[in-house]
Chains A and B, each alone.
Chain A
Amino acid sequence: MSAPVLAVTDLTVTLNRPGGAPRLLLDRVSLDLGKGEVLGLVGESGSGKSLFCRTLVRLLPSRNMQIENGRIMLGEQDLAQASETGMLSVRGGRIGMIFQNPTSHLDPVMSIGNQLSEGLRYHQKLDAPAARRQAIAILRQVGFPDPERQFDAYPHEFSGGMRQRAMIGVALSCNPEILIADEPTTALDVTIQAQILQLLMDIRRERGLSIILITHDLGIVAQTCDRIAVMREGRLIEQGRKRELLRSPDHFYTKTLIGSHPSMPSPAMEKKALTSPPDFRATRDKPLLKVEDVDVCFAGAGSLLGKQSGSVRAVAGASLEIMAGEIVGIVGESGSGKSTLARAILGLTPITSGNVTFDGTSLRGDPGAFLAKLRRETAMVFQDPYNALNPRMTVGEMLAEVLKVQGRIPQVDIPARVGELLDLVELGREFAERRPRSMSGGQCQRAGIARALAVNPRLIIADESTAALDVTIQAQILDLFRTLKEKMQLTLLFIAHDLAIVRNLCDRVVVMNRGQIVEQGTSLQVFEDPTDSYTQALIRAIPDIDPDKSLLPLADREMA
């Protein structure tokens, strides 16, 4: 490795609350970044990885935070000591940043082109026409198909992937030497994620850019980075070359992190592979849930006098069966209709045609009885664990409310049942007194699952229930689902965009694309030997934790 472009030594950041003891947020972090190197910075939420990167450009999120100690050497300049005016030319001009959520980081009332021109005019002192020409060139480089026209478009007119491309373009417009990418693909679908990662690698190659890639996904790191640094609780606990670190991690935490990566075959998975999965179809039981040729159409937006602008077919001719005791996963990218299908099954969205049968009662036969039965015997677990819980209620009150409405057990037994439910989801009984505010994401999700279990459901529909959680927490929740299935003979319909999770958890998988079911079969079958071309592309796009299973054709040009 050549001389580092950025050398950080003993960087320490504290939070000084007035009237409180200072809290250590970053504890003596030392890290080098070589020219043209891609450094993966991994860790869970709250580990300090984002704070570290914001400290590099001295954009601390609060006035109460300050750099206590340490040096940030960018070439000959110590950024920890630089003046605020000095930092203006460093930010953007030498160290650029892109963020997780392009929608909130791009200015919605300014055209994409003008946002690029801003950097060009400010850092490279170009005049307006030159900036426009240059901005169009950058837009083309980051993959806009028609940059002359798209220069004047606004962020909301683009998809999430294109917005992320635009944000990369905005960062490039300042012509930086170092790019900090903070979870740049977390909000994107896998196939788009692969494209964005490819773009970053291309830019690195073309511009000799050094990249710090912050991510929680070790798969991405394995596929793109040269070196890995692992952070936890404000400390850098381990760093090293990618292959060595992945092969033989020193730190216990790194081992856990690698172990909980969903693309690693779990012990359960290996067992399943040996003893072929129980074939539910062979049993003579009728399916618990049967979806026949369901169509869901949404009317297009109409106005008082304007004509209706056509309807959208969100789900087209979907048919599937779920046997009792089965875990079925529905996977697909955003907009594939997987959530709409789930809502249609629960009767939350009217179906246009087709039929849904749940344990003998059908939607077409007797809608009233069907819905009543569904509401009694199914439950849903949601994506965002915080927003799905009422912030004003304690977990105990929330569970008691469900039990009271159900009216199946006498009033006096409710507290005991609440305790049982908490035991089931492996939360301590003291959580009955807690409110969501004082709980972590994983604990909230357990409470959400307890609420689903409170109705004694025969079928649970989990819509992206682990998408908002850290990997190690994700692994715990998946374990919980598995245990519950064993204990309670639950049937689970698990909706996710994360294929690795579905592969880990589900017996059967249903793949959706543009409202249609393109493939279904046992997990093993679908993931090992997909027949549909879309499924194949989807599976290829999962970043594997094994660097030798290459995701990107050009990514594997490691630094010598």
Chain B
Amino acid sequence: MAAETLPGDLLAARQKRAALLFMLPAMILLVAVYAAPLGYALKASFTGWLLTRPATANIFVGLDNYTELLSSPEMWSAIRVTLIYAVAAVSLGLVFGTLLALMLDADFYARSFFRSIMIIPMVITPSVIGIFWKLLYEEDSGVFNAVLQAVGLWKVAWLNLDMALPAIIIMDVWQTTPFFMLIMLAGLQAIDRNTVEAARVDGATSLQLFRYVMLPHLVPYMLIATSFRTIAAMGDFDKIWLLTSGGPGNRTTTVTIFAYKNGFSAFDIGRTTAIAWILVAIVLTASAPLLVRLFRSAVEER
């Protein structure tokens, strides 16, 4: 503590002023691209603004957009789809990622090669994934059905009413499993090897080893990975938009897709900004534990 504050209030004040100058460009950019548009959106969400009728921009409707949305089945369907998508994709990603991390933690040949190629899906451009998975899912010409038929199973209409939501979840699990794998692997490698050895010498089975030695240690890593991924999943747009465009009907219309459609197809600015603000509220609530954790560790560190 003492070391960082050089003698004299003058120096401390000068240091603060320098800090402000260093932060200024970042503050200006964040205000221009985030704070101002968010404020603008908040104001617009209280109006009945339709882009096709400019005169409507100043019609103040109070909370009407919000009350209308919160009683509309479409909005609740979008919230439901978003939650199912996020929860299912994140849990499956966590399970597969943990299994792969355990497998990577073993001793085998060309380990770093396998580790490297396994992260490919995670970084491929999401719009490429959306476009390409649509081709893979094609009912008659897609390779997934070809494989299913080759092993004696039946064709699946992947993008129909019942399968579309599972289909976008499968696509997301495919893409994000390496994310979980890498974080869980980092967790596994931080375990004290002596503890594991000691447990093994004491006769613990592999399952017991995982349950009582590794799992407790991995929980914080799981929380971090799931928090980050849940927040991101709730904002996912590109893959879903290109695979299903929210359809069929509104079966895969997440809140993000719902907001986009209202904004750029219906040009209903009042409504789309209200949806966006509802989503911000949901995401910030969901990310509160992670935010608090990151904030605390930043403020409290030595």
A and B are interacting partners: no
Contacts from B to A (Cβ < 8 Å): none
